[in-house]
Structure 1
């Protein structure tokens, strides 16, 4: 039986136009009405995710896992904080130094969310603007009210500790950055028990790739943080077993939640190499994010009275 549904946003719940379709929204509300816990799990930080989620009529007590598992808050009810993790100041200073070659692609993120779900200016800190505008101009423009340029970026560490750092650029450059970081014993790949996981690691990496745009994002998280880890904590609090979880995602930063779910669903618009991994692991292949793929994944559960058993082989809805 499925008692919890975890959904990624970009490339999954949201279409290419950045909105949730009427059919997808209806499926979420029907799942809520059936007593299923609906959780949004996104790489976006809380404030940026709420731009698309606010005012949709979803339960305000639903959990929003943001920043790839670093922070969990409720959708409404004062954006109540459920869980939060930080990079230490010491580790953050080391990262700034270690990433000297990539500093022009670096964004530092702080959790400055108020009761209204909005961030304060300085929630995002950068040292260089030109490179970031070149790779993620639309994101930079949308987040301009929250971005503060500080030179050198280390000065931002005089106050609160960050919840994450982010590198953005071409796929080739970001793979080099990821490889550089993973050479260090204090840096591990993201996941619950990722291959090559390093005892005592202080940092976890989560990668998102968009090959058609030649864009990659490497999120640098506190060790042990991932979408999957955050969902396991929520499931334990709600007395839900991992096999009672359905997770739906489309990119590499979703792997940690897909690998723990009893019913993992990978969107049809996922990168081809991730689809190959899904085939190897027996994950279900769902629909496209521009064709109500989330609704296609949820509706069979509701039609079957939420009694669909965990998947055992790759298939298509």
Structure 2
């Protein structure tokens, strides 16, 4: 069965190590789109953080879709219609913030309008996330997060890689059962609704479009991409992917600095 939808992670996959979309990757994906294949960016970023890539690829119409917040939100790019969403609650915030405090790491909350932090000493990794996804940072105390609730789409435990890895090793198994917990970068551990993941978001979108998993290709490089590679008929790991992603994938392509996305799309789709 031919591929009719390609789901592509952004950082470490679609863009190179300079966070640039190369001409070869851009032209190859436009050619696939012109052939009738749905190109769907599937990212941990919010919509504002993926807008430049959507515009560069021409994925801005009512026929285009995007999966954001690591699968917590699936929507039509043009109409903004939500196909699927899974948000966190104020009780979740209390639970997750207590765990972050216990582990000694920073925490921030990603909403549709901003990144919220209860840390007056704002982590440089929160600042980095703000710059990366084009979202403002807003300070709100832990009490205010409960009394003046915001839309909580995902939470992120953040710290120096060594500190974060040590913290991850101490997270109890029951916490991981209550949430979807995935590492998206050496300094980011994302905490999502237990019913949310890139794989779930992709499956929801495929169902909406009346496609089977055999008609889907997914391309990624990190832990948060695992579920969508497992779902897709063709799961593709970048050469620069972490080992477990390569183990799960059906195919390995070149790195994000070697136009890996273009190479695999040329081979299997064009």
Superposition TM-score, scaled by structure 2 size: 0.89
Out of 183, 193, 197, the residue aligned to residue 207 of structure 1 is 183
**Compared with structure 1, are the counterparts of its residues 28 and 269 closer, same or farther at alpha carbon in structure 2 (3 Å cutoff)?**
same
* RMSD of Structure 2 on Structure 1 (CA): 2.3
Deviations 1:218-243 (A, max 9, x none): 10000121000000011111111112
2:13 is paired with a residue whose SS is coil
Deviations 1:193-240 (A, max 9, x none): xxxxx4xx3x2101124xxxxx33110000121000000011111111
Q: Report which stretch shifted further, 219-228 or 93-102.
A: 93-102
Which residue number in structure 2 is paired with residue 126 of structure 1? 117
**Compared with structure 1, are the counterparts of its residues 154 and 31 closer, same or farther at alpha carbon in structure 2 (3 Å cutoff)?**
farther
**Where do 1:187-226 residues align within 5 Å?**
187-188=175-176, 198=177, 201=178, 203-209=179-185, 215-226=186-197
Which residue number in structure 2 is paired with residue 79 of structure 1? 80
2:10 is paired with a residue whose SS is coil
- The answer for unaligned runs of 5 or more in structure 2 is none
Is 1:175 the counterpart of 2:165? The answer is yes
1:259 is paired with a residue whose SS is helix
CA distance in 1, matches of 2:104, 2:110: 14
Is 1:156 the counterpart of 2:145? The answer is yes
**Compared with structure 1, are the counterparts of its residues 3 and 221 closer, same or farther at alpha carbon in structure 2 (3 Å cutoff)?**
same
Is 1:239 the counterpart of 2:230? The answer is no
Which residue number in structure 2 is paired with residue 278 of structure 1? 246
Deviations 1:244-286 (A, max 9, x none): 2111001111001011111111001113x33xx524x462111
Out of 255, 260, 264, the residue aligned to residue 293 of structure 1 is 260
Superposition TM-score, scaled by structure 1 size: 0.77
1:236 is paired with a residue whose SS is helix
1:65 is paired with a residue whose SS is strand
Q: Say if 1:132 and 1:140, in contact at 8 Å, map to a contact too.
A: no
2:167 is paired with a residue whose SS is helix
Deviations 1:122-150 (A, max 9, x none): x21112264621x4654344568610112
**Compared with structure 1, are the counterparts of its residues 106 and 52 closer, same or farther at alpha carbon in structure 2 (3 Å cutoff)?**
same
Q: Say if 1:104 and 1:129, in contact at 8 Å, map to a contact too.
A: no
Which residue number in structure 2 is paired with residue 264 of structure 1? 235
**Compared with structure 1, are the counterparts of its residues 41 and 129 closer, same or farther at alpha carbon in structure 2 (3 Å cutoff)?**
farther
CA distance in 1, matches of 2:134, 2:266: 38
1:83 is paired with a residue whose SS is strand
Which residue number in structure 2 is paired with residue 45 of structure 1? 46
Residue correspondences, number: 267
More helix by share: 2
